[in-house]
Chain A
Amino acid sequence: MKAKITITPKKAVLDPQGKAVQNALEHMGYAGVSGVHVGRYLEIEIDGEREAVEKQIDEACHKLLSNPVIEEYRFELE
């Protein structure tokens, strides 16, 4: 099984990287870009029952893979 995890900065946290990328896109002439958020993407290969794996990945996201003070996460299993 593969867990695909996406981690992004919380809205309240300053995201200067996202802002810099947004500025670059605007300079390149891409119109209508109203926000860019730079995060992280992880793929974890893991064996086990779907329900148990979901619980483990959720716990790992909370404890290590993201920092709940500044980040949000979501994941899917396939």
Chain B
Amino acid sequence: MKVAVIQFPGSNSDQDAVNGVRVIGHQASLLWHKEESVGDADAVIIPGGFSYGDYLRCGAIARFSPVMQAVKQFAADGGLILGICNGFQVLCEAGLLPGALVRNRSLQFRSEHVFLKTIAKDTPFTGGVADDRLLRVPIAHGEGCYFADEETLAGIKANNQILWQYVSQQGEANDDANPNGSLENIAGICNQARNVAGLMPHPERACEEVVGSADGRAILESMAAWLDKGKSAEAA
């Protein structure tokens, strides 16, 4: 798979995303925010960081950048898009994902490892995660509390759009395992069409044992496997 990693002024997880894709044996390149096309990319990652200094609201300014217009078109055409941390905030601000990310309930910036339970398995981002396997990946955010109004949340649940929940080491989605006060312990969701996903944790920072966990590979490998399957179906 060829992944375009968007680079905004203030992105700081862009190189981690490129590295994560490369260590699982795929291609990744950076795409500057002023570009107006995603080129021949099979997938787009919107990385973490503080795009445009987080001015106004996290992700609010990035949404209007030239490259995001191309990303919106890519989404409409069914392209795979993964937003990580600030990238998740950007996708919500852009209206590509429902809801919003607000200040952590504790008011504290949280930087630690969490356990994620995969909820919906029928998506390009989660298809490769074995049943009951918890993913141990890091978080690093101050505004990761997922919020949606009641009606939106009901729709998300009805359409099985919750992809990951924060859980305890035993796999329970309780308050102690929730690092930011997110509704329903939501760590990540997808859109109705299931080709756009966002999550606050950083799978790209957990792709090699040397950094403490390689569990994040499962998400990137799921995307690659899903694309491969699509290609072989096309060829057949």
Contact = CB atoms under 8 A, between A and B. Distances in A.
Interface of A: 9, 12-14, 16-17, 20, 64-65, 67, 69-70
Contacts of B147: 13-14, 69-70
A8 to B, nearest CB: 13
In the complex, which range does the number of interface residues on chain B fall in?
20 to 34
B73 to A, nearest CB: 19
B99 interface: yes
Q: A-B pairs with the 9 shortest C-beta distances?
A: A69-B100, A70-B100, A16-B107, A16-B105, A13-B147, A67-B100, A16-B103, A70-B102, A67-B57
5 contacts: A13-B147, A14-B145, A14-B147, A67-B93, A70-B147
Contacts of A12: 149-150
Nearest to B61: A64
Name the residue among A13, A16, A69 with the largest chain B CB count within 10 angstroms: A69
Contacts of A13: 102, 147
Interface string B150-176: 101000000000000000000000000
A69 to B, nearest CB: 4
Interface of B: 56-57, 60, 64, 92-93, 99-100, 102-107, 145, 147-150, 152, 181
Contacts of A16: 103-107, 181
A67 B90 CA distance: 12
B60 A14 contact: no
Contact of B107 (A9, A17, A69, A70): A17
B100 A65 contact: no
Q: Is the interface of B mostly helix, strand, loop or mixed?
A: loop
A71 to B, nearest CB: 8
A69 B107 CA distance: 20
A5 to B, nearest CB: 12
A14 B107 contact: no
A53 to B, nearest CB: 20
Contact of A20 (B60, B92, B107, B145): B107
Contacts of A14: 102, 105, 145, 147, 181
A7 to B, nearest CB: 9
A64 B99 CA distance: 16
B104 A65 contact: no
B60 A17 contact: no
A9 B103 CA distance: 11
Nearest to A9: B102
B184 to A, nearest CB: 14
A67 B181 CA distance: 19
Name the residue among B57, B104, B105, B152 with the largest chain A CB count within 10 angstroms: B57
Given A12-B149, A69-B148, 20 more contacts: A13-B147, A14-B105, A14-B145, A14-B181, A16-B104, A16-B105, A16-B106, A16-B107, A16-B181, A17-B107, A64-B60, A64-B64, A67-B93, A67-B100, A69-B92, A69-B100, A69-B149, A69-B152, A70-B100, A70-B102
